[in-house]
Structure 1
Amino acid sequence: ALATTGKQRSAVLPKVPTAIEAGVAGYEATIWLGLMAPAGTPKPVIDKLNAAVNAMVKRPDIVKLWTEQGAVPMSMTTEEFEKFLRGDIEKWADVVKKFDKS
């Protein structure tokens, strides 16, 4: 492997540099999973789902399984997830604009 694409080195490939360390300034491309609900879903329902997901990703068996696969479990409030999602959309929209040749 030449590089990994996260901000930090992978726990499963600790000797492999990140793309940034390998000389590609500002490069970060990672996958993430999130749970979304239809617009208008009542806040108590959203909060209950968020609490259940956050509890699940903190379970030791889940953390162990995901860590073995190189995944990093993240837990966020609904507000933090919205900010994260909007930031990711903006990031990739900028990439598309820079490389769009149409």
Structure 2
Amino acid sequence: MFGFSYSGADVAVVCREALLRPIRRLTSSTHFKRVQNPEHDGPNELWLACSPGDLDAQSLTLDKINPDELCEPPVTMSDMLAALATQKPTVGENELGKYQIFTQEFGQEGS
């Protein structure tokens, strides 16, 4: 699906983009509901972003919620795939050929 033309810096950009996607969803959320905190420490209940049609939904924005009471959404596979789709690799086939020649002449693969 995706080639080997992503550099280390490209991978870092993709990961950073994927990490920001749940935050963007939170900042655009208009409704939240209270849920039980699965952790043993912290508050008993947390605010979870939900759809306006959820039975327990309350009209709230992120800036009205105490950060300690926010249920942080996880980074999902769809976040990673969306980040990969928007962040194109910066290493071209020409550069890859040069690296392969260099590795054959001076280095060893896999070390």
Q: Which has the higher contact order (CA 8 A, sep 6+)?
A: 2
Q: Mark the structure with the bigger radius of gyration.
A: 2
TM-score w.r.t. length of structure 1: 0.22
